[in-house]
Amino acid sequence: MGSDVNKHDYIRQKMREVGRLLLEARKITRLRSMVDFIIPANFKQVISAVKVVSGYDEEKNCYRIPSLALKLGHSLNKICSIVESNAMMYGDHQRAECARDFRKIHQKHKQFLSKLRNCPSAKSYSALAKVTLTQVILFNRRREGEVSRMLLAAFKSRDSSELHEDLAICLSEFERKLCLHFTRVEIRGKRGRKVPVLLKPSMVSAMELLVETREVCEVPAENPFLFARSGAMSAYRGGECIYRAAQECGIKNPEALSSTKLRKHIATMSKILNLDENEADQLADFLGHDIRIHRQYYRLPEGTLQLAKMSKVLLAMEKGTLSDFKGKTLDEIEIDPNEQFEPLVNDMSSDEEDCSDPSQSASPEETAQLSGSQKDQSSLKAPKRKWEDIEVKAIERHMMRFIKTCKVPGKQDCERCIEAEPEALKERTWTGLKNYVLKQDHNSQKKGCFVAV
């Protein structure tokens, strides 16, 4: 990434993280260089150093900075690949083998995937099915019974079509990438309702391999389940798979890691996000919770909406970085779907400055409550200037997605528009642009469009 100036801050951050890990390891372990970290015999020492850097509390059994521990894990995996490549180039086969052994310890899922592909058997099939089932349940925070009983037909009939242009225009560039990155499968949930499951590419690859090797691994053709047992008509139980994985990880209370408690966890953690009622309904609907009041409004098709919005929450939960987005809405959360990512902290401070016209900056309900005298007084203080055609066209070139989706732009969005059209908008402020778009939103609301302020 060195050739990209915009990524230099990211590079510096990663170097600081790994540097702190190395300095701490030199204090408490025998590790002296990053090459020492990828020796399998030193794995426990690596874990000790990561715990110290991330502020692990033995008594409370929790991390002060859990996201740092996860990021260091990803960085160590990349370092392992670098060491292995260098060792192979210089003919150091022993060091290359050490790197491969370290990766086997670090990546259990890929090991089972490779084993089933190269040497299919009932045992290797069972191992991959269990670990994949566990990953899908943990990532989606889904009820373990729902995922366990996922039908083979449901997986085969998953929607793999490209995102339609008419829908793409209503999503941000980041959300469009998420729709291409994730796959959505509909399964039968509680009380027979339809519930979605989002799959990462690695999960899809593993599940496709399970389907391909069913016959050779002695899975009955009549077994309707995707996570089917060899030689039986039943499926693996997700609860047992999670419990066994928790035990193998060596955690103190494996029974505390269950699908029910994970669902309560994401519901509780979502409270720190600044979700409006619409977004809270989306999250509740995705998790399969009852919604007492369903708001009627125009929205994207359910599948596209869940791919674009819910995958961001699930990624943040998996990476342990949900707390980094405290106070943000779903639209403001930005996460790279790849393993290396930087939480984007946007300055959505569109409400930091008072608008010249309160009737424009207020919500529709607040505007209706303004008295006539208040509106007249506001107009005297800040007389309105008519928007010229050249200004309107400049705004529509850059802000049409906000107008079409009835969303209020933030300060940065307005400032970027002004910077892109310096001549046409030289006499306008970012608050003026925001109020103009808001006014268009209000006009759209009268026509039946939902305004998310």
Domain edge (last residue) among 60, 81, 106: 106
Spatial distance between the Cα atoms of 209 and 225, rounded to a whole number of angstroms: 14
pLDDT score at 133:
93
Q: Is residue 62 part of a domain?
A: yes
pTM: 0.47
Q: Measuring CA to CA, which residue among 46, 42, 39, 43 is closest to residue 94?
A: 39
Spatial distance between the Cα atoms of 390 and 300, rounded to a whole number of angstroms: 31
Same domain for 143 and 29: no
pLDDT tens across 274-326, in order?
667 777 777 777 777 655 533 332 234 456 666 777 787 888 777 777 777 77
Q: Are 43 and 80 in contact (CB under 8 A)?
A: no
The torsion angles phi and psi of 217, rounded to 5 degrees, stand at -95, 20
Same domain for 250 and 195: yes
Q: Is residue 340 part of a domain?
A: no
The torsion angles phi and psi of 57, rounded to 5 degrees, stand at -105, 110
Same domain for 119 and 32: no
Same domain for 309 and 250: no
Same domain for 425 and 323: no
Same domain for 17 and 73: yes
Q: Is residue 344 part of a domain?
A: no
pLDDT score at 235:
94
Q: Is residue 347 part of a domain?
A: no
Q: Is residue 338 part of a domain?
A: no
pLDDT score at 274:
62
Same domain for 249 and 299: no
Q: Are 169 and 404 in contact (CB under 8 A)?
A: yes
CB atoms inside a 10 Å sphere around CB 373: 8
Same domain for 283 and 233: no
pLDDT score at 272:
58
Residues of the chain with pLDDT under 70: 103-107, 109-110, 250, 268-275, 289-306, 331, 335-384, 441-453
Q: Is residue 350 part of a domain?
A: no
pLDDT score at 302:
55
Same domain for 222 and 291: no
Domain edge (last residue) among 106, 125, 150: 106
Domain coverage including residue 307 = 261-332
Same domain for 145 and 182: yes
pLDDT score at 130:
93
Same domain for 204 and 314: no
pLDDT score at 236:
94
Same domain for 280 and 202: no
pLDDT score at 310:
77
Q: Are 48 and 42 in contact (CB under 8 A)?
A: no
Tokens of 332: 């403001």
pLDDT score at 224:
94
- DSSP three-state, residue 188: strand
CA angle 451, 347, 180 (to 5 degrees): 65
Report how far apart, in Å, the C-alpha atoms of 422 and of each of 215, 390, 417 are. Answer: 65, 12, 9
Q: How many domains does the chain have?
A: 4
Q: Are 351 and 409 in contact (CB under 8 A)?
A: no
pLDDT score at 107:
60
Domain edge (last residue) among 85, 106, 127: 106
Q: Is residue 341 part of a domain?
A: no
